[in-house]
């Protein structure tokens, strides 16, 4: 599921709140019918994995080592990987098609490759919910599409819930199963098809520069008269 909206509307704040990284401004969040605040950090890490816009500081690790970090909630106090942990890492490397670069250092990777590694680390964590904040930031159009198609594949093949924020609204319309539109006058969640049919994208941005074309399902630059 994609979360879209204008800059500053609160997409990142919502995701960080859902992941219990920051306290809620109002209301409450429940996970499996329990308030999220009642979960210990370790227990919550077995339920929710998060990929933020900040990349790992230790880029001297290789790809396999970074992915293995996702198993930390399950390892013993010295962080030793069990055979189950190692098998999960191997499964994720295969799923993400990262075998050819698993021994590469992360500083050797392109932005697109590193983003795949960060998603793989979240998958190795083996949670039912994966949250990603702007996973296509700084990527070219090919890698934006590649990442979003990959997220859809993961959701469908692994039966995990994948929730991500994005500015790539046109791509989200084509690739997301559901979209949550955040708007000051009220937010709405539905399939892209229903959102288009009900003109929900028309008022996403102030009038004057861009407008939504319901026939093509995309935003168009409004030409000067």
211 within 8 A of 222, measured Cβ to Cβ: yes
**Span 181-196, average pLDDT:** 93
- Residue 124's pLDDT band (boundaries 50, 70, 90)? very high
- Range scoring the smallest mean pLDDT among 11-20, 53-62, 83-92, 178-187: 53-62
Q: Which of 53, 51, 78 is nearest to 66 (CA)?
A: 51
Instruction: Using the predicted structure, report yes or no on whether residue 208 has a pLDDT greater than 80.
Output: no
At residue 80, the pLDDT reads 86
Question: In whole angstroms, what is the distance from residue 135 CA to residue 130 CA?
Answer: 12
Question: In whole angstroms, what is the distance from residue 134 CA to residue 163 CA?
Answer: 10
At residue 77, the pLDDT reads 65
At residue 206, the pLDDT reads 78
For residue range 13-71, list pLDDT tens digits in order.
Answer: 999 999 999 988 888 899 999 999 999 999 999 999 999 877 666 778 999 999 999 99
Question: In whole angstroms, what is the distance from residue 195 CA to residue 180 CA?
Answer: 9
At residue 49, the pLDDT reads 95
Question: In whole angstroms, what is the distance from residue 16 CA to residue 11 CA?
Answer: 9
Q: Which of 6, 201, 149 is nearest to 217 (CA)?
A: 201
């Amino acid at each position: 599921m994609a979360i879209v909206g204008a800059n500053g509307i609160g997409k990142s704040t919502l995701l960080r709140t859902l992941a219990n990284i920051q306290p809620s401004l109002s209301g409450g969040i429940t996970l499996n019918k329990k308030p999220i605040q009642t979960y210990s950090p370790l227990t919550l890490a077995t339920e929710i994995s998060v990929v933020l816009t900040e990349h790992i500081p230790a880029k001297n690790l290789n790809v396999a080592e970074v992915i293995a970090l996702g198993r930390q909630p399950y390892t013993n106090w010295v962080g030793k990987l069990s055979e189950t942990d190692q098998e999960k890492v191997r499964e994720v490397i295969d799923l993400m098609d990262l075998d050819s670069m698993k021994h590469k250092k992360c500083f050797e990777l392109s932005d697109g490759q590193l983003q795949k590694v960060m998603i793989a680390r979240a998958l190795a964590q083996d949670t039912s919910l994966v949250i990603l904040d702007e996973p296509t930031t700084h990527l070219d159009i090919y890698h934006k599409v590649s990442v979003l198609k990959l997220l859809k594949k993961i959701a469908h093949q692994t039966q995990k819930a994948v929730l991500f924020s994005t500015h790539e609204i046109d791509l989200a319309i084509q690739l997301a199963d559901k979209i949550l539109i955040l708007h000051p006058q009220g937010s709405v969640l539905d399939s892209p098809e229903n959102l288009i049919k009900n003109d929900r994208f028309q008022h996403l941005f102030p009038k004057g520069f861009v407008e939504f074309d319901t026939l093509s399902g995309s935003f168009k630059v409004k030409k000067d008269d």
